[in-house]
Amino acid sequence: MKRGEPERRRQILEAASKVFSEKGFGGASMRAIAREAGVKQPLIYWYFEGKEDLFRAVLSELSPLFERMENPDDLMDRPPEEVLSLIASMELGSYADPKLVRLFRIVIAESALNPEGSGRFLEESQSAVLGFLAAYLGRQIELGKLKAHDTESVARSFFGALIFYFLAREVFLHMKERLPDQERYIKNVVAVFLDGLRSTNYAKEARQ
C-alpha cells in the first residue's frame, strides 16, 4: 500500500460510519459517503468493492469482537472464565462508541422492514460469534472442563444476555433502572453460566 493510503482508507471509513449511522444502509449512498470524506466517488472503489463491503468494514472497525471472530482458533483451548469474559467485555465495550450505538439502532429498525438490507450483515456478524461460542463450548466439553449440554442453545442464551444489556442501556430506557455497571454484569453473567456448566471433576480441581 502506497504512502498515505492507510490514512485515506481511514478517512473513508470514518465518513461511511457517519453517513450509515445517520441514514442507515438503505438510505446511504456512495456519493454521500464520498462527499463526507472529501474524495471523488471512484476513489472509494480503490479500497472497497462496494457499499456492502464498506458497510462490513465499518461494522468490523466499530466492533472489535466481530473482527476477532475472523480468526478465533487460538481461543479454543483457553479457560472458560477467560474466554467468556473476553467475549462479553469486547461485545459490551463496543457500545461505548456513540457511533456504533446510533448505527445499531438504525440497523435494528431497518432489519424489521428489510431483512435483506443492513440486517443481513448484522446477522452475519452475530452468526460468526454464535458459531464460535457453540464450537468453543463443544471443545470445552471434550476437554472435560464443562459438562455435556446443548451448545447451540447455551451460546444463544449467553449472547442474548449481552444483547439484553445493550437494549436495556441504549434502547428500552425504562429497563435501565437498577441496571448493574458493565463490569459487575459481565462477572455475574459469566458466573451464572459457568456454575451450571462446569463438569464435576473440573469444579473440584478449580477449588483445590
Residue 92 grid cell: 459490551
C-alpha torsion 175→94→124→85, nearest 10: -80
pLDDT digits (tens, 9 = 90+) for 87-114: 999 888 877 777 777 777 777 776 666 6
Confidence class of residue 117 from pLDDT cuts 50, 70 and 90?
A: low
Q: For the segment 133-164, what is each residue's pLDDT rounded down to a tens digit? A: 999 999 999 999 999 999 999 999 999 999 89
Domain positions in the chain: 5-50, 63-207
The residue count of the chain comes to: 208
pLDDT at 168: 87
pLDDT band at 1 (very low <50, low <70, confident <90, very high): very low
Q: Taking all residues of the chain, what is their mean pLDDT, rounded to a whole number?
A: 84
Taking a C-beta distance cutoff of 8 angstroms, is the pair 81, 194 a contact? yes
For residues 159, 164, 169 and 170, what is the CA-based torsion angle, rounded to 10 degrees?
90
pLDDT category of residue 3 using cuts at 50, 70 and 90: very low
Provide mean pLDDT across the span 185-195. Answer: 94
Q: In whole angstroms, give the CA distance from residue 114 to residue 53.
A: 18
Model pTM score? 0.74
Architecture of the domain made up of 5-50: Orthogonal Bundle (1.10)
**116: which 3 cell numbers?**
435483506
Question: Residue 100: what residue type?
Answer: L
- Note whether 5-50 and 63-207 share their fold: no
Angle between helices 30-37 and 51-62 (to 10 degrees): 50
3-state secondary structure the chain: CCCCHHHHHHHHHHHHHHHHHHHHHHHCCHHHHHHHHCCCHHHHHHHCCCHHHHHHHHHHHHCHHHHHCCCCHHHCCCCHHHHHHHHHHHHHHHCCCHHHHHHHHHHHHHHHHCCCCHHHHHHHHHHHHHHHHHHHHHHHHHCCCECCCCHHHHHHHHHHHHHHHHHHHHCCHHHCCCCCCHHHHHHHHHHHHHHHHECHHHHHHHHC
Q: Give residue 56's region: left, alpha or beta (phi > 0; psi -120 to 50).
A: alpha
Residue 169 pLDDT: 85
pLDDT score at 98: 77
pLDDT score at 176: 85
pLDDT at 82 exceeding the cut of 80: yes
Residue 137 has what pLDDT?
96
Match 435483506 to its residue by C-alpha cell. Answer: 116
Q: The domain 63-207 is classified under which CATH number: 3.30.1360.10, 3.40.250.10, 1.10.357.10, 3.30.200.20?
A: 1.10.357.10
Q: What is the pLDDT of residue 42?
A: 92
Greater model confidence, 188 or 208? 188
